[in-house]
Structure 1
Amino acid sequence: MSKNRIFIPLLIVLFAFIPRYIYLTQIESSDPSFYHLLAGTDARTFQGWAENILQGKIEGNDKLLYTSFLSLIYRWAGNDLYAVRLIQIILGSLIPLLLYFTGKLLYRESVGLVAAGLASFYAPFVFYEGTILIASFQVFLMALLLFALSLAVKRLRPLYWLAAGLVMGLMSIDRGNILLFIPFFLLGIPAVFKGTGKKLWQGVTFFFLGIAIVQAGLFSLHFSLTGTGKVKTNPLGVHLYRGNAYGASGQYGRLSALPAVPPGQSYLLATARSIRAHPGAWMKLLGRKSLFFLNRYEIPNNYSFEYSQRYYSLLRYLLHFGWIAPLGLLGMVMAARERRLRLFLLLALSYGISIIAFFVVSRYRLPFVPLLILFAAYLLTNARRFLQEARVSRKVIYFFLIIGLFWISNRNLHLSYPNAPYNWGSAYLQAGNFQKAIPHFEEAIRIYPGYAKAYDALGNSYLRLGEIDKAIVAYERAVSLESGKASFHNNLGTGYFEKGRWEEAIREYEKALELRPDYDKPYYNLGNLYRRLGREKEAREMFRKAKGLKD
């Protein structure tokens, strides 16, 4: 027995580690941004914040837990992105183990084993563990929270409740939506626990104490480093407006694409007024967001799971959301009769609402998946019993329910995102591999023909390959789509310069300066152009102005 108690957990971790390590070797050899994160992405922002933490600076950092985790790795291994990813896949390999123990504690070992198997080979887990993003760390914390809660529910010891509160508090540092569980938890106590004795309320008190300890520690850290206890968080009102205003897509989108909020009016009030003015549209939006939440498509922000599947075959052969979600959701329906599982149903319900209430993005949904996996395992291990005990009419209901859930989860939403190929192309462009960058920019343009940035980047790629005519065509298209962008005019001017079209180049550089007088590059470029034309006095004046802006 003692050998099994060691052997099974080790085997689970090993099986989970193998696909993750294979994927790590694949992306190291072919991802152009593996060692050099792309500027403008969240990953690069987090890297910068982690570097600031090493210098004792936390101003502007609203993802303090994950970036502190990064900074610890940087302190130990230097700014080594391979080390970060390796540690993340090690933590990811512990997620199936935590789900194994959770299932075993709550029900029986077979539930834990099935849950561990599903989590070991779940493709989005593997994908996000290879990124420098919060998602995989939040999934690990969710699995840890489930384990701590299972101990607390099973044994009702204050120490386990305290541990659960501490983990939830840690999760809330970077993603405050987890705290929506608190009212669900309080209201659901009678449905979850038999009686409300002293031992239970003592445990509940320790649970909230754990959350409070983390929040107090966060306040103290901010006070010691910034002189103020004010903690920077993502603005609730802005995100509510982004996800619920009239015209919102239900996904992450630019505020500029939505109706402007009147000066002095809060985003919360603007959201409420928008919903009141367009209740029918808002109800449709809620339905759309619910569909996004339940569908297999991993809605991207910076990195696209679907686009990466084209280049990493491993991701195509592992499990995806379309398999896990229907089983997990039906498992939740079946588990409602089990008192010991109701707390986890409340956690699933509160977390799902906290995502749909704002907007749906793959990496925000990801921490919900351990709950789905747990209930999918519960369903799979009890399916035979359910079918034997159920009446014929109930079996018919189960059949149509699972068919409907599979249809919702796997239907083609015909979504595509130009940012995914654009970011791949930008990574190749940054790495100096211009030939490989071009197909990605062309793909971004195919998805969204009005994507001015992609045309501009395509022009940059052609320019560096010496294909000046193609570069000019791309630059001209970028300018025609977004004529108010100074950098586009500057780049078009450079294309004309390389072709010897001097007057047109001067016109574009001057237009860039008209749009943005503090832009130094057009001054340098004009200086070089005037020098080429023998207009030395004008050239020196342009260089002087450029240097003044640099200084």
Structure 2
Amino acid sequence: MVFGVAFAIRAVFLFQSLETPYFGAPFLDEKYFYEWAKRISHGQLSYEQAFFRAPLYAYTLGGLFAIAGPNFFLPKLLQHLLGSVAAVLIFKIAERCFDRRTAWVAGLLAALYPPLIFFEGEMLDISLQCFFYPALILIGLRSLSDPRWRWTMLFGLVAGTAAIARPNILLLVACWLVLQVVLGARWGGWRAPHGGFARAGAIVALVVLWMMPPLIHNVRADGSWVPISTYAGVNLYIGNREMADGYTASTPRPYEFFGDYQDSVELFARREAEIAVGQPLTGSEIQRFWLWRTWETITGRLSHCIGLLLKKIVLFWNGYEIRNNKDVYFALKFTPALDWLHRVWNFRVLAPLGLLGIALAALRRPAAQRVENLWLALGVAAHMVSVVLFFVCDRYRLPVTPLLIVFAAGALTTIWQWANEGDFRQAGFAAVGLACLAFLTNLPWFDMSPAVAHKDVWNVANCYKEKGQLDEALRWYERFVQLNADFADGWNNLGEVYVRKNRIEDALACFERAARLDQRVSLPWNNVGFCRLKLGDPEGALSAYEEAIKRAPNNRIARNGRAEALAALGREKEALAELDSLLVDDPDFVLALWTKAAILARRGDIAEASDLLNRALELAPPDTAAEIRADPALTQVLPAETKEKQR
């Protein structure tokens, strides 16, 4: 029944989500995993650098894409199935720690908990962690009552798998290892052949075994002796730096990328560290750089960092869902069923109920069950610590909710039992305690501003643009600029929509405004140059591209545009020299191949132009290849079969 209820509500949410702007248009972390998985599905199983993020989710998604092709529905369906199984695991945990009635309450609460359902619908590794967390807790509970080795071995296997999905789960594993040693008598004594030390050693061995594939990859990639990934160091710095507020995950300085999507945090970590050191660095060296920078920050401002840590603990228990990539309150408006459910069943309700349940379990449970409840409470504490060391947001807090749901169910059934037995004194005390906890966890303790309406509107507009729904995108961008007329990225994106609608003059006005609003970045100047060329102003285009290069000398798109502008001005020799320089750096740079082929074709160098064109078409993605074939400058050098198709 629990599985059926869980999957039914998830199915409703999934089918409603098909019509949302977000479906089929991943951005930020979702886009990172989606693009990574696509590369894996095409056979790119290793990389030149150590893993920045834990690899399990991307490789699982990549395997699925290799079988079924890149898509959005199937992964989300499977994640919802996994979430439905997790609800059953929560039922089993509550049954072992409390009783059957509490298990039913916990299972149904988990089946209907909107944040779990929402994040299962995101292409993010959090869906795996929200399954592995209750799975490890349940296996630990079974091991406490059943001394057979199979539970120890299963714990090690699941822990190792979970670690390469999200390494912070290792803190929970460490708690279990300590518990096994302390409670060694349950397995025949600490030093017995089957005792606590032996079992702890077996678990460590299995976890290390699972870490070996990513470790081998990282060593072979760039010599980094990093067991899983390298993102802990920079995220530790972001969460504890001088200007950290405890919940904002953005980097102190943005770095642009030109070409395939790159994670902004990964880009910042590498560029900032290499600039500071003055040479290229491996993944492990970057990790050490940021760990040392964090240590210097903490030791230099210890009292501030302690205060920040306490603030993050308060934020962890606060009822408000602090956004990371999406604002859950805004995003759920597109799925009415889950939105209405979320209005009554959310972390504002769960946090006080869960805390009350922890207190009641500590005070009332029989001695024989206190170890089980201790293990459950350690799970809550371990995850809280793993989050507050960095920064707090709804998504990173989420894996603690299955355990809090168990405690919340325990609190509800205990109060019900007291009321049913006529013990209104204890029920009243519990109700007062619940009211106090609800008040404390829902106070706006800090001057937070996590809700950023213009960014949510901007994200929706970007999604429509990504899917080619330009009229909808335009409507949302126009709504965006009414909310915040000083956000440069929004004007730049609005200009891109105008370009695709062939409103070049409107686009130029947007790009110029974006360039004025943010003088640091080069991308708006790229787009100004493009529009100037389209409008027949190569001098203005050349000036714009040089402004872009001044801000980002590595902006190869601007350098390619500069070559186009030079060619339009009749300075073909300079243009070809610029393109040759680009192709020395990257012989597979499609834009440079395309531009050089067009220049040579106009000069009458048909043979060389044809070679470059064929190379560009071979490398280009389908959309870009279609644009290349439509270039009038290349008509005379297109392959015969392409000309025939165009007719």
Matching residue of 1:172: 163
Cα distance, 1:119 vs structure 2: 1.0
Q: Of the candidates 5, 13, 23, which is equivalent to residue 15 of structure 1?
A: 5
Matching residue of 2:522: 486
- Tell me if 1:364 matches 2:361: no
Matching residue of 1:376: 408
Distance 1:527 1:71 in 2: 38
- Tell me if 1:507 matches 2:543: yes
Structure 1 contact 486–516 (Cα < 8 Å) conserved: yes
Matching residue of 1:122: 113
Measured against aligned partners, the alpha-carbon deviations of 1:277-317 in whole angstroms (never above 9, x if no partner) come to 33443233223322321233333333332221222212312
- Tell me if 1:355 matches 2:351: no
Cα distance, 1:58 vs structure 2: 3.5
Q: Flag the 1:57–1:269 CA change in 2: closer, same or farther, 3 A.
A: same
Structure 1 contact 74–80 (Cα < 8 Å) conserved: yes
Matching residue of 2:253: 256
Q: Flag the 1:206–1:390 CA change in 2: closer, same or farther, 3 A.
A: farther
Distance 1:349 1:469 in 2: 57
Distance 1:21 1:68 in 2: 25
Q: Of the candidates 33, 40, 43, which is equivalent to residue 46 of structure 1?
A: 33
Cα distance, 1:400 vs structure 2: 4.4
Structure 1 contact 13–93 (Cα < 8 Å) conserved: yes
Cα distance, 1:436 vs structure 2: 1.9
Distance 1:446 1:141 in 2: 44
Structure 1 contact 161–203 (Cα < 8 Å) conserved: no
- Tell me if 1:331 matches 2:357: yes
What is the total number of aligned residue pairs between the two structures? 533
Matching residue of 2:211: 218
Distance 2:302 2:423 in 1: 41
Cα distance, 1:419 vs structure 2: 4.7
Cα distance, 1:395 vs structure 2: 6.2
- Tell me if 1:287 matches 2:300: no
Cα distance, 1:12 vs structure 2: 1.6
Cα distance, 1:268 vs structure 2: 3.4
- Any residues of structure 2 matched to 1:43-192 within 5 Å, and which? 43-54=30-41, 55=43, 57-59=45-47, 60-61=50-51, 62-185=53-176
Distance 1:198 1:135 in 2: 37
Structure 2 contact 233–291 (Cα < 8 Å) conserved: yes
Q: Of the candidates 180, 183, 188, which is equivalent to residue 198 of structure 1?
A: 188
Superposition CA RMSD, Å: 3.5
Q: Of the candidates 434, 441, 455, which is equivalent to residue 402 of structure 1?
A: 434
Distance 1:183 1:90 in 2: 29
Structure 2 contact 462–493 (Cα < 8 Å) conserved: yes
Task: Tell me the SS of whatever aligns to 2:164.
Answer: helix
State which drifts further: 159-168 or 442-451: 442-451
Cα distance, 1:107 vs structure 2: 1.9
Measured against aligned partners, the alpha-carbon deviations of 1:182-226 in whole angstroms (never above 9, x if no partner) come to 5544555699x6955616873643355234213213315653896
TM-score for the superposition, normalised by structure 2: 0.73
Larger Cα-atom Rg: 2
Q: Flag the 1:320–1:445 CA change in 2: closer, same or farther, 3 A.
A: farther
Matching residue of 2:640: none
Cα distance, 1:140 vs structure 2: 1.0
Distance 2:227 2:534 in 1: 50
Matching residue of 2:263: none
Q: Flag the 1:303–1:288 CA change in 2: closer, same or farther, 3 A.
A: same
Cα distance, 1:141 vs structure 2: 1.1
Distance 2:154 2:490 in 1: 48
Matching residue of 1:268: 291
Letter of the structure 1 residue corresponding to residue 450 of structure 2: L
State which drifts further: 57-66 or 481-490: 57-66
Task: Tell me the SS of whatever aligns to 1:246.
Answer: coil
Distance 2:214 2:492 in 1: 44
Distance 1:271 1:511 in 2: 35
Cα distance, 1:498 vs structure 2: 5.1
Q: Flag the 1:19–1:183 CA change in 2: closer, same or farther, 3 A.
A: closer
Distance 1:110 1:543 in 2: 77
Q: Of the candidates 329, 353, 373, which is equivalent to residue 306 of structure 1?
A: 329
**5+ residue gaps in structure 1?**
1-10
Matching residue of 2:227: 231
Distance 1:543 1:420 in 2: 43
Distance 1:503 1:196 in 2: 82
TM-score for the superposition, normalised by structure 1: 0.85
Q: Of the candidates 292, 296, 307, which is equivalent to residue 319 of structure 2?
A: 296
Task: Tell me the SS of whatever aligns to 1:336.
Answer: helix
Distance 1:450 1:232 in 2: 40
- Tell me if 1:427 matches 2:463: yes
Distance 1:522 1:26 in 2: 41
Distance 1:21 1:135 in 2: 19
State which drifts further: 94-103 or 537-546: 537-546
Cα distance, 1:368 vs structure 2: 0.8
Q: Flag the 1:505–1:256 CA change in 2: closer, same or farther, 3 A.
A: closer
Distance 1:245 1:519 in 2: 29
Q: Flag the 1:275–1:518 CA change in 2: closer, same or farther, 3 A.
A: closer
Q: Flag the 1:381–1:68 CA change in 2: closer, same or farther, 3 A.
A: same
Letter of the structure 2 residue corresponding to residue 25 of structure 1: F
Measured against aligned partners, the alpha-carbon deviations of 1:235-282 in whole angstroms (never above 9, x if no partner) come to 433222211122112122214389988956843343333234334432
Distance 1:548 1:37 in 2: 34
State which drifts further: 369-378 or 410-419: 410-419
Matching residue of 2:512: 476
Structure 2 contact 532–538 (Cα < 8 Å) conserved: yes
Q: Flag the 1:473–1:416 CA change in 2: closer, same or farther, 3 A.
A: farther
Q: Flag the 1:106–1:516 CA change in 2: closer, same or farther, 3 A.
A: closer
Structure 1 contact 328–374 (Cα < 8 Å) conserved: yes
Q: Flag the 1:180–1:524 CA change in 2: closer, same or farther, 3 A.
A: closer
Q: Flag the 1:539–1:485 CA change in 2: closer, same or farther, 3 A.
A: farther
Measured against aligned partners, the alpha-carbon deviations of 1:479-530 in whole angstroms (never above 9, x if no partner) come to 1222232221121233445556665444223322444455454466567667
Letter of the structure 1 residue corresponding to residue 124 of structure 2: L
Matching residue of 1:3: none
Structure 2 contact 119–126 (Cα < 8 Å) conserved: yes
**5+ residue gaps in structure 2?**
255-267, 278-287, 583-591, 594-647
Distance 1:505 1:221 in 2: 46
Distance 1:389 1:181 in 2: 40
Distance 2:82 2:572 in 1: 57
Q: Flag the 1:365–1:528 CA change in 2: closer, same or farther, 3 A.
A: same
Measured against aligned partners, the alpha-carbon deviations of 1:128-178 in whole angstroms (never above 9, x if no partner) come to 111111011110111212221221223343322332232222222232222
Task: Tell me the SS of whatever aligns to 1:297.
Answer: coil
Measured against aligned partners, the alpha-carbon deviations of 1:84-137 in whole angstroms (never above 9, x if no partner) come to 111111111111111112211222111111111111111111111111110111
Distance 1:300 1:177 in 2: 20
- Tell me if 1:31 matches 2:21: yes
